[in-house]
Amino acid sequence: MGNRAEELLERIAVGIEKLGDEPEFEIPTAPPVCPHCGKLNPTIKTDDSAGTGPMGDIFMEVTCMNCSHSWFAVPQGWVNFTNEPDLREFFERAENGNSREDH
């Protein structure tokens, strides 16, 4: 590993440690919008093959099918389902605005 790469890794490590010391640090979450073309809820693809690692450290490299640009996406929080029917119901309710009871 070259000196520049080592230096960069050290700076990243220091930055991460500083984030841990900064309780005010807020991670902005956003709706599903492509950061390149701005399309709301674009169709995306991921080429990531199955990997292994801590659940809290997961990220995905995704490609927008609208503009063909790629970026890294980090899930912030989880909604977990232990069976597929519950998963389907979740997305159906999300598509319906999750507001059936409000009408």
Among the listed residues 36, 10, 31, 15, the one whose alpha carbon sits nearest the alpha carbon of residue 76: 31
By CB under 5 A, the residues from 52 to 91 that bind Zn ion are: 64, 66-67
**Smallest distance, Zn ion to C-beta of residue 73, A:** 12
CA dist 87 and 96 (Å) reads 14
**The one among 36, 44, 70, 73 contacting Zn ion by CB under 5 A:** 36
Q: Are 66 and 34 in contact (CB under 8 A)?
A: yes
**The one among 8, 12, 13, 37 contacting Zn ion by CB under 5 A:** 37
Q: Which chain residues interact with Zn ion by CB under 5 A?
A: 34, 36-37, 64, 66-67
